[in-house]
Amino acid sequence: MIIIHDEVCTICGRKAVGCQIYGCCGSYVCFEHADKHLQNLRPGEKLDLGACYFLRFPE
């Protein structure tokens, strides 16, 4: 299965590498604007920390 994502960073408009959700607020982010938890994930990985959720898009 091929997943194509074309989301852009909500901060700067560059191609997003993933999304991060803090409680009820979420955003797509590029690598530069990503939280360290998201930056440390490998492509396709996700991390659930209760109220915080991080998803790194597959490359």
Residue-by-residue pLDDT tens, the chain, 59 positions = 455 568 899 999 999 999 999 999 999 999 999 999 999 999 999 999 999 999 999 98
Q: Contact, 32 vs 16, CB < 8 A?
A: no
The whole model's pTM is what? 0.85
CA separation for the pair 50, 12 (Å, rounded)? 27
Written as six digits, the tokens of 18 are 């993933």
